[in-house]
Structure 1
């Protein structure tokens, strides 16, 4: 099964950035999130899109 979302810590780690920069990217709309209960999860496809655009 393909991973569809990840936590903020996992997303920051996979991008090689800190949580502050991660939340800045979320605020700019460059990373898409979903809320499940109290958890904020980052969509894996938005991480891939961000990396592809930066390359």
Structure 2
């Protein structure tokens, strides 16, 4: 998995819509950075998001 993921890659990884991914970024539940006009999400942030959801469910 690359270090930084594009929004479409995050959408595929989490099986979520574009709007939901941007909602998560906006609410700061999913960390991201901007380089130029591109919004990129660290792979570690996706893993942390999944881990947090697993802990909530337990």
Give the TM-score of the pair, scaled to structure 2. 0.84
Structure 1: 5+ residue runs without aligned partners? none
Higher helix content, 1 or 2: 2
Computed over aligned residues only, the root mean square deviation of the Cα atoms, in angstroms, reads: 1.1
Aligned residues: 54
Q: Which runs of 4+ in 1 moved over 3 A?
A: none
Provide the rounded CA distance (Å) in 2 between the counterparts of 1:52 and 1:13.
Answer: 17
Give the TM-score of the pair, scaled to structure 1. 0.88
Report which of the two structures shows the higher radius of gyration computed on alpha carbons. Answer: 2
Partner of 1:29, secondary structure, is coil
